[in-house]
Structure 1
Amino acid sequence: MLELSDVLDARDRVSETSRHTPLEYSHTYSSMTGAEVFLKLETFQRTGAFKIRGATNRIATLTPKQKSAGVVTASAGNHAQGVALAATRVGVDSKIVMPEHAPISKVKATRNYGAEVVLDGTDYDEATERAHEIERQEARTYVHAFDDEMVMAGQGTIGLEIVEDCPDVDTVVVPIGGGGLISGIATAINEQKPDARVIGVQAEGASSAASSLEKGERVSLDGVDTIADGIATRTIGERTFEHIREHVDEVVTVSDPEIAVAMVYLLERSKVVVEGAAAVTLAALLFEKFQFDENETIVPVLSGGNIDLNTLTNVIVRGLVETGRYLRIRTVLADQPGALEQLLDIFTAHRANIYAIHHDRTSRDVEMSDTEVEIDLEMRGPDHVDAFLTDLREAGYEVDVLV
């Protein structure tokens, strides 16, 4: 099992490559939850995510022969960038297999850090199969994304920084994909602050750790489906499973809509861009997925900020919908002058701002004497939406809420 001494040794190896990232108190989330909330901002790490720590520590421990042969790995994006940069800095050739639908921004960044990128497979697990083929064919060393003690130890340096910067920490909340991050952090926290809790968080659509703990053995999911692509793994590692059982107090899950809301809050209130995998920790806190006391000191680890802009656009819209600030409706009007104006009078009374309107008198779904209208609206919250829809329906309009 990984020990604190391994994490301390890793800190010496990674100190020149990785950054000691900020730990910032949040008035916003402290006020919302009643806890004392400090955000661990790995979003400001080199390569934009925590993975550089573990990759650097693993590559630093390679033998000269292994360094000469080069390394290979599989990754959805962040580990890819970490391995690419860590290998390039010490002159080691790296080849990275990424899923075919990996975010474009992460593929480009990995190549820019000096790695050869191979796109193969529909998800992390299929990419892993291809990477192991390359490992055998080219005699490269496989740098596992999570199930490796040296990788775990590198990630655990985050735990050292949390205790150093926040010695009164009560609870640390950590994302779980394959389990390397939480294994390292939990080891560092437990041995320095044995009374502190470590809470793991997964997306509901990729809940292999939660399912494994429930069954008492590692579970492999048939597939994964979540906006949190950085933690979308079908199973956790053999080594990480044992560390999670030993050191982690609780594992909870959050839904994609809850993740989207957390991402929007971080963007709007904290001015921090995070990927879905990072936002799960704040989502678990905001939606009270675990119990905590008033004034408890809680540190959600925001593990990375490498999100594709197209994905971010979709997430923002979903987050606005979930918080009652964006609404799309459809209704039917009589196809005659003044009908639209009468409808818009209700909009004006509620100060509902129109983003877009589509007026279709050719739709087959309505009578020839009617016209179908779809309208996108800016709203001010759930209460505003409810009052607005109530008035529309009381005025005789049949309204379908589209988003």
Structure 2
Amino acid sequence: MNNSAPSPQDKPLITASDIFKAAQRLRQAGLLFPTPLEPLKTLSQDTGAGILLKLENLQRTGSFKLRGAANKLLALQERLDSKPHVVTASAGNHGLGVAYAATHLGITATIVVPLEASPAKVKALKSYPVELIQHGAGYEEAESYARQLERERGLTFVSAYNDLEVIAGQGTLALEVLNELPELTHLLVPAGGGGLLSGVALFAKEVNPAIRVIGVQSEASTALTAAIAAGHLVTTPEYPTLADGLAGGLEAGTVTFDLAQQYVDEMVLVSEESIAGAIRFMVDELHIIAEGSAVVGLAALLSKSWQPEPGAVVCSLITGRNIATEKLLKIMHA
């Protein structure tokens, strides 16, 4: 079943107004809090640009995904006469967002994660009173099984990215950045299915069309980058990546593709080596833990895969911290 709020055909799918409404809804519910901006003094001096990190890895559940999940579940409560039983597929962080929001709202949730999901994320999910199912070799197989459960049990599917209310929730991240940093010129945004990227890009461009939005993916998982380049969804190979939360293909008909095409200025790919380097940078320079998916924008800056012009004001979104201890130690000792 399609649980996105209906949109009149003569209006855009989603606007900045929807993101303002999501921010108000989330604020009233008290399920999350604003996260800080951290200036990078040395990198700013080296580039001649003002570079800041938005530390969304400090958010509850350790990830920005709570924003979209909570906004979706709150919107469902507003529309439905009874509390839904929701089902979702996730590489881990979206599942944590759904689990947290569902627990606090008294909603029953079933969460499907791949068999290879991060042990840190699986362990965290097990701390919530949800039905956790590990199924499939990767995200796409997990999502297919979650869709099967939706049909067989009559559940309400909550997409990690292909949902307008999830996208609106993710877009509140841009609202926070611009409230604190109105002089912003560039946004570096991690991209997987494109929920965060499309929501952030839409809001930033509607507030200030001059802002340039750059989506960043690992070279190991390039579905959205390849689709934008081709002008349509394409099948791309998938390889193991430190950015596991960004891995996987795109659901047919996903709204994020059209939104990204319209609002995103550029896509950049970064190597696994540069992602590892960005994780080390976060620990060594800031004493902050961030996962691979969270630091691809920073990786682009450090590796010079993308370089700002002098005088630019750049914010890179650091989107999560849920990395397994063993993996973090291996990266730090490499």
Q: TM-score of the superposition, structure 2-length normalised?
A: 0.92
Question: Compared with structure 1, are the counterparts of its residues 68 and 250 closer, same or farther at alpha carbon in structure 2 (3 Å cutoff)?
Answer: same
> Which string of whole-angstrom CA distances, capped at 9 and with x for unpartnered residues, describes residues 37-59 of structure 1?
11100011010000000001111
- SS in structure 2 at match of 1:201: strand
> Which string of whole-angstrom CA distances, capped at 9 and with x for unpartnered residues, describes residues 42-79 of structure 1?
01101000000000111111156585341000101100
Structure 1 residue 289: deviation in Å? 2.0
- SS in structure 2 at match of 1:72: strand
* Structure 1 counterpart of 2:224, from 193, 209, 219: 209
Structure 1 residue 260: deviation in Å? 0.5
* Structure 2 counterpart of 1:268, from 265, 274, 284: 284
Q: After superposition, where does 1:23-42 map in structure 2 within 5 Å?
A: 23-42=37-56
Question: 1:224, 1:233 within 8 Å by CA — same for their partners in 2?
Answer: no
Question: Compared with structure 1, are the counterparts of its residues 256 and 8 closer, same or farther at alpha carbon in structure 2 (3 Å cutoff)?
Answer: same
Counterpart residue number, 1:283: 299
Counterpart residue number, 1:314: 330
Structure 1 residue 209: deviation in Å? 1.2
Question: 1:66, 1:141 within 8 Å by CA — same for their partners in 2?
Answer: no
Q: Which has the higher contact order (CA 8 A, sep 6+)?
A: 2
- 2: CA distance, partners of 1:304 / 1:292: 24
Structure 1 residue 32: deviation in Å? 3.4
Q: After superposition, where does 1:78-97 map in structure 2 within 5 Å?
A: 78-97=93-112
Question: Compared with structure 1, are the counterparts of its residues 65 and 10 closer, same or farther at alpha carbon in structure 2 (3 Å cutoff)?
Answer: closer
Answering whether residue 268 of structure 2 is matched by residue 252 of structure 1, we say: yes
- 2: CA distance, partners of 1:276 / 1:123: 17
- 1: CA distance, partners of 2:81 / 2:297: 37
Q: After superposition, where does 1:3-152 map in structure 2 within 5 Å?
A: 3-15=15-27, 16-63=30-77, 65=80, 68-152=83-167
Counterpart residue number, 2:315: 299
Question: 2:212, 2:264 within 8 Å by CA — same for their partners in 1?
Answer: yes
Give the unaligned 5+ runs of structure 2: 1-12
- SS in structure 2 at match of 1:227: coil
- SS in structure 1 at match of 2:83: helix
- 1: CA distance, partners of 2:22 / 2:225: 28
What is the RMSD of the two structures over their aligned residues, measured on CA atoms? 1.4
Letter in 2 for 1:214: A
Question: 1:85, 1:114 within 8 Å by CA — same for their partners in 2?
Answer: no
- 2: CA distance, partners of 1:76 / 1:141: 19
Question: 1:203, 1:255 within 8 Å by CA — same for their partners in 2?
Answer: yes
Structure 1 residue 220: deviation in Å? 2.5
Counterpart residue number, 1:384: none
- 1: CA distance, partners of 2:89 / 2:23: 24
Counterpart residue number, 1:185: 200
* Structure 2 counterpart of 1:161, from 172, 176, 196: 176
Question: 1:221, 1:235 within 8 Å by CA — same for their partners in 2?
Answer: no
- SS in structure 2 at match of 1:56: helix
Counterpart residue number, 2:3: none
Question: 1:69, 1:139 within 8 Å by CA — same for their partners in 2?
Answer: no
Answering whether residue 18 of structure 2 is matched by residue 2 of structure 1, we say: no
- 1: CA distance, partners of 2:129 / 2:82: 15
> Which string of whole-angstrom CA distances, capped at 9 and with x for unpartnered residues, describes residues 174-226 of structure 1?
00000000111111111112111100000000011111111111123243321
- 1: CA distance, partners of 2:291 / 2:84: 33
> Which string of whole-angstrom CA distances, capped at 9 and with x for unpartnered residues, describes residues 360-386 of structure 1?
xxxxxxxxxxxxxxxxxxxxxxxxxxx
- 2: CA distance, partners of 1:274 / 1:25: 16
> Which string of whole-angstrom CA distances, capped at 9 and with x for unpartnered residues, describes residues 263-291 of structure 1?
10111001111000011010111222234
Letter in 2 for 1:115: V
- SS in structure 2 at match of 1:202: strand
Which of 1 and 2 has greater Rg?
1
Structure 1 residue ranges, 4+ long, deviating more than 3 angstroms after superposition: 63-69
Q: TM-score of the superposition, structure 1-length normalised?
A: 0.76
Counterpart residue number, 1:341: none
> Taking every aligned residue pair, what percent have the same amino acid on both sides?
40
Letter in 2 for 1:283: A
- 2: CA distance, partners of 1:120 / 1:32: 46
Structure 1 residue 109: deviation in Å? 1.1
Number of matched pairs:
318
